[in-house]
A and B are shown apart, each in its own frame.
Chain A
Amino acid sequence: ILNVEQSPQSLHVQEGDSTNFTCSFPSSNFYALHWYRWETAKSPEALFVMTLNGDEKKKGRISATLNTKEGYSYLYIKGSQPEDSATYLCAFKGVGGSEKLVFGKGTKLTVNP
Chain B
Amino acid sequence: SQTIHQWPATLVQPVGSPLSLECTVEGTSNPNLYWYRQAAGRGLQLLFYSVGIGQISSEVPQNLSASRPQDRQFILSSKKLLLSDSGFYLCAWGLLADTQYFGPGTRLTVL
Contacts and interface: CB of A to CB of B under 8 A. Distances in A.
Partners in one complex: yes
Contact of B43 (A32, A34, A103): A103
A43 B104 contact: yes
Which of B42, B90, B97 has the most C-beta atoms of chain A within 10 angstroms of its own C-beta? B97
Contact of B99 (A34, A42, A102, A106): A34
A99 B46 contact: no
Taking chain B's interface residues, is the majority helix, strand, or loop, or is none over half, making it mixed?
A: strand
B43 A105 contact: yes
A93 B98 CA distance: 9
Nearest to B45: A103
A93 B94 CA distance: 13
Interface residues on A, range: 20 to 34
B90 A101 contact: no
B73 to A, nearest CB: 18
B44 A99 contact: no
Contacts of A34: 99-100
Interface of B: 32, 34, 36, 42-46, 49, 51, 57, 59, 90, 94, 96-105
Interface of A: 31-32, 34, 42-46, 49, 89, 91, 93, 98-106
Given A46-B99, A98-B57, A103-B45, 11 more contacts: A43-B102, A43-B103, A43-B105, A49-B98, A93-B97, A100-B34, A100-B59, A101-B100, A103-B46, A105-B42, A105-B44
